[in-house]
Amino acid sequence: MKHKSLLTLLLLMLWSGLTHAQKAVDTYKDPAATADTIQIKGLIIIKSKNDKGRNSYKFYSDTAYARNKLKKNLQTKFFVFDLGFNNYIDRSDYMGAAYINYFTGVNQYTQLTANKDAYSYSAVGLATMAPRSASEPLTPSEFKLITGKSINFNIWLLEQRLNITKHKLNLLYAVGLEMNNYRFARNITYQPGYPTTIIRDTVEFSKNKLFAEYISIPVMLNFNSNPARPGRAFQASFGVQGGYLLKGRTKQVSEERGKVRKTDDFNLNKWRFGLASELGYGPVKLYANFALTALHDYGLQQYPFSIGLRLNGF
């Protein structure tokens, strides 16, 4: 009798355990069924449901992915983009050009423009490129830009970073296309040919711009404060940049003439040399470039610079 009671008790305990186990199985939800995990290189995105049944997202950095990349001393990026604005520092000799223009039609002026100074950055060179009458002398305001519409857009087809010291000090270099738009606020017109001349036009332009495209190679020293955590790293790069002119073009839009495009080198410097820099924290990066060579080959002594956002860089 005692054995039967013990057996009955054991059966009841077993049945109770099975019942609780079944309830646990019924109430358990596989995390994979309620959360989706997506990994894009070093970024992990977890999608799940909150208490109210709404979608929620969490973002994590995969440090293992970043550390694995650090095993490679040479890293490569394709199609890095820059989007920013252009302007220039104008050091042209306007006062001297006004003096030279005073002698228009006089032998002294003819002798001055006949010499080599006619194709330099002197006052004579400026007067050759942009001749004006003495009553309406040349002024810097004629080349004023609309900064918000003078767009700089660059495509770096290939960018590489070479480790020098513990991935904190690197050599950063790239090759790509620089595309610079200079949108003029005044009604001036570039007349193609040699020598190129710039005149005051008689029509009102709704759009008046000069476009210059270069193939460029920047080479910079790069500092990275936290190579293992790119999303929390401070980066700074500084170096030099060289380029060669591929195309020069003007575009003007007016009611009288419609849309007019002209392609020429427009006395633009064939070679370009300057300083290049980059500053950023995590994925946000700013770039700034400053030319040490003038935009034009003679006459106007303008030194372009650009500043903006860099996308998809290191």
pLDDT for the residue numbered 43: 66
In three-state secondary structure terms, 177 is strand
What is d(CA 50, CA 211) in angstroms, rounded to the nearest whole number? 53
pLDDT at 296 > cutoff 90: yes
Those residues whose C-beta lies under 8 Å from the C-beta of residue 176, and which sit 6 or more positions away, are 80, 154, 155, 156, 157, 158, 159, 215, 216
pLDDT for the residue numbered 252: 97
Pairing of strands 169-183, 207-224: antiparallel
Residue closest to 176 by CA, chosen among 152, 151, 210: 152
pLDDT averaged over every residue in the chain? 84
Higher pLDDT: 135 or 160? It is: 160
pLDDT digits (tens, 9 = 90+) for 17-51: 545 545 444 444 444 444 577 666 556 777 777 77
User: What would the mean pLDDT of 126-153 be, rounded to a whole number?
Assistant: 92
Residues in the chain: 314
Any alpha helices (H) in 28-166, and if so which ranges? Answer: 31-34, 63-69, 94-101, 107-114, 123-129
pLDDT for the residue numbered 117: 78
pLDDT for the residue numbered 29: 43
Confidence of residue 212 (pLDDT cuts 50, 70, 90): very high
